Amino acid sequence: MTWLAPNTFVTFCKGMTLSTLTAVFTEAGRPPRTAGELSGWTWATQDAYTADHGHSAWELARNITGFRYADRVSDPDHVETVFLASTPACTCPHGQNYMVPHCAEHPFQFAYNRGGFEKSYFNFGARRESRRSGSMADLLVRELLDAGIVGRDTPAYDTDPHFNADGAHTVRIIADHFGLPSPPLGRPGGRPSAPFAER
């Protein structure tokens, strides 16, 4: 099953070169732990609990698709990002278990960004996918329905209450939908599913 190493943020980006992506993260005080490119996507990973320096990883994933970095890409209208976080859903006093407010320690576990906006975002695992937001909130709803992760007919949850508890099925659906490369995604526990050559 496709997954991320624990307490990791990863930003996949289309429309921005690897050197530009890593420079943007480094300038914002969030230098990537690993970075790479494959199949038209670049990516950068960070440890979730490092010093923030005023920019959180999910905000940066959103902002690099907007006007602020338009002068660094050849076609600003075609920059998109997919942000994934393997941090737990927020349990902060001001938050909820299902929808996370913009909390630096607990960002949304999935966000798809274009034009400087979060088009679709939600948390995953334990049926959290049923609380989706954004102007394209139902972007993945067909795949989630077909997998029995959301909707009225969820036989997997009925037979196994722990089905998709860690969100690994959802991450696989996200990866398949966007055609994300397997590095840095791997199997639960952080084992890589394919060789990864850092750049």
Using alpha carbons, select from 74, 84, 66 the residue that is nearest to residue 12.
84
Q: What angle do CA 17, 19, 23 make, to 5 degrees?
A: 120
pLDDT value of position 126: 81
Burial bucket for residue 159 (CB in 10 Å: 0-12, 13-18, 19+): exposed
pLDDT value of position 4: 81
pTM score, whole prediction: 0.86
At residue 167, φ and ψ (nearest 5 deg) are 80, 10
CA distance 122 to 110: 6
pLDDT value of position 154: 84
For 24-79, the pLDDT digits (tens) are 999 988 899 999 999 999 999 988 876 554 458 888 999 999 999 999 998 999 99
What is the b/e burial string over 54-68, where b = at least 16 CB atoms within 10 angstroms of the residue's CB? Answer: ebbbbbbbbbbbeee
Using alpha carbons, select from 57, 85, 43 the residue that is nearest to residue 197.
43
The answer to whether residues 109 and 57 touch, using CB atoms and an 8 Å cutoff, is: no
Low-confidence ranges of the chain (pLDDT < 50): 1, 53-54, 94-98, 100-101, 187-199
At residue 106, φ and ψ (nearest 5 deg) are -130, 75
DSSP for 150-196 reads SSS--HHHHH-TTTTTTSHHHHHHHHHHHT--TTT-BSTTS-BSS--
